Amino acid sequence: MGFWSAVKNELIDIIEWMSDEHDVMVYRYPRSDNEIKNGAKLIVREGQVAVFVNEGQAKRHVDLEIFEPADVFEPGTYTLETKNLPILSKLQGWKYGFESPFKAEVYFFNTTRLTNQKWGTPNPIMLRDPEFGAVRLRAFGNYTLRIKDAVKFLREVVGTDAHFNVSEISDQLRTMIVSRFTDVLGESRIPVLDLAANYDELGQYVTQRIQPDFLEYGLEVAQLLVANISLPPAVEEALDKRSSMGILGNLNDYAKYQSAEAIGKMAENPDQGGMANAAMQMGMGMAMANQMQNTFGNNQAPSPSAPPSAPPAAGAAPPPLPGQSSFHVAIDGQTYGPYDFNTLSQYVQSGQINRDTLVWKEGMAQWTAAGQVSELGRLFGGGSNMPPPLPPR
């Protein structure tokens, strides 16, 4: 430092720190040969704490067996005199006042909240999920940091650093957070699909677990947030496909919907290419619907709550075998059939056809109750081989 700078510092009697650098945590006030004029003004603003250190040495407290700096000043304006510097005065042997400049280092600490500090997992976390088995998760978020104990922070971290930034300690703090977060997430055993509903709880629990570690450095975590916990891209893609299948629901209805959409596209695009594409989509949808119908519908028994199905389309089913009679059935004023003996037997068992149900076949003059037709008598526990009732006496 030059001669004029040294003289200028001796004439300056105001010690203060004014800076708009939000990421600066500690600032050492520059003085020529660390000399401060007796009676100088010290200004400590809100969000700051000033600490005086006697020539880089710490005082050993006789009673508490600890080392501590000279004097600590909270926000306010002070005149640096013996009454305001009791520890420093005792170290210098100036119990009865002094007039000459004294040697001391002044450190200003930024005690405001340092927000939007990032944290994240550098590598995926291996966990065992009850539904998906072994999974790998990544997580990231942010946290809010502030200086809780300026003296401890000076002793444990800052040392003689004249301009201490957040970046100088952020890596260490980030590692501590990730370590505690991994431990908490593994102990919680929360299923992957339920993690999104527990972000707040995880953040609060990690904050409690990490707080003692930060306090050892004179710091505290004012808030820790979990922004996202994600699966690897390949697993997310498989999960998306699984979700899509669940959203589709009834695949038969979806195939019919696709067919209807294809017909609409064909009507909107009369050009040859559009018609060909739409016809192809419609054909694929109908084929899928028919396949599902054959797979899930043909082997089902008749519904007890529904009337017998309408007759199949012409040529869709072969005629009955020779020697088997087919009957039409009248239910609620509607005719159904014709049905062979085996089909009628199923409807009798389901209760849809009884003795009083009207039936008809070729060769019969009129509709007749099923219980009175000899061929159908055995369906109701009787038949044509039963003797007629006895004549009256």
331 shares a domain with 254 = no
Evaluate if residue 238 carries a pLDDT over 50. yes
Residue 310, pLDDT > 80, answer: no
**Residues 78 and 44 reside in one and the same domain:** yes
Residue 318, domain member (yes or no)? no
Q: Look up residue 174 and give its two tokens.
A: 């980030």
Instruction: Express each pLDDT in 347-369 by its tens digit.
Output: 888 888 888 889 998 888 889 88
Q: What is the pLDDT of residue 101?
A: 64
Same domain? For 167 and 253 the reply is no
CA–CA separation, 288 and 85 (whole Å): 90
Residue 133, Cβ density class (10 Å: 0-12 exposed, 13-18 middle, ≥19 buried): exposed
Same domain, 224 and 118: yes
Indicate the residue among 232, 257, 276 that finishes a domain. Answer: 232
- The answer as to whether 240 is a domain residue is no
**CATH number of the domain where residue 213 is located:** 3.30.479.30
Top mean-pLDDT range of 91-105, 206-220, 305-319, 331-345:
206-220
Query: pLDDT tens for residues 93-133?
Result: 444 444 556 677 889 999 999 999 999 999 889 988 888 88
User: Do both 129 and 163 map to the same domain?
Assistant: yes
Domain span including residue 258: 249-296
Does one domain contain both 98 and 58? Answer: yes
Confirm if 357 and 331 have CB atoms less than 8 A apart.
yes
124, 168: one domain: yes
**pLDDT at position 200, please?**
93
Residue 140: predicted pLDDT: 93
Interval 237-254 mean pLDDT: 68
261 and 339 fall within a common domain: no
Domain CATH code at residue 340: 3.30.1490
Does a structural domain hold residue 90?
A: yes
What are 25's two structure tokens?
A: 């945590």
If asked whether residues 199 and 270 sit together in one domain, one would say no
> What domain count does the chain have?
4
Q: What is the mean pLDDT of residues 129-155?
A: 90
| Structure confidence by residue, pLDDT tens digits, 268-289 | 665 555 555 555 555 555 555 5
Q: How many whole angstroms from its chain centre is CA 225?
A: 13
Mean pLDDT of 62-88: 65
Q: Are 231 and 192 in contact (CB under 8 A)?
A: yes
Same domain (yes/no): 10, 71 = yes
In a domain, 311, yes or no: no
- Overall pTM surpassing 0.95 (yes/no): no
Q: Are 279 and 273 in contact (CB under 8 A)?
A: no
Choose one of 78, 110, 142: the last residue of a domain: 110
Task: Indicate whether 198 and 139 sit together in one domain.
Answer: yes
Assigned domain for 104 exists: yes
Strands 59-60, 67-68: pairing kind: antiparallel
Note whether residue 19 is domain-resident.
yes
Q: Is residue 348 part of a domain?
A: yes
Where does a domain end: 296, 313, 335? Answer: 296
Distance between CA atoms of 294 and 300, rounded to whole angstroms? 10
Is the pLDDT higher at 70 or at 357?
357
Q: Find all residues with CB under 8 Å of 18, minimum gap 6, and list them.
A: 45
Whole-number pLDDT of residue 217: 93
Q: In this predicted model, which residue has the larger pLDDT, 46 or 302?
A: 46
Is residue 210 over pLDDT 80?
yes
**Is 14 part of any domain?**
yes
Neighbour-count burial of 177, counting CB atoms closer than 10 A to its CB (0-12 exposed, 13-18 middle, 19+ buried): buried
Q: Check if the beta carbon of residue 39 is closer than 8 Å to that of residue 68.
A: no
For 167-180, the pLDDT digits (tens) are: 999 999 999 999 99
Question: Mean pLDDT, the chain, as a whole number?
Answer: 75
Q: Is a pLDDT exceeding 50 seen at residue 7? A: no
Would you place residue 391 in the very low, low, confident or very high pLDDT band (cuts 50, 70, 90)?
low
State the Cα–Cα distance between residues 378 and 371, nearest whole angstrom.
9
Q: Roughly what angle, to the nearest 10 degrees, separates helices 167-188 and 199-215?
A: 130
149 and 228 together in one domain: yes
> 244 pLDDT exceeds 50?
yes
Residue carrying the six token digits 């040294």: 6
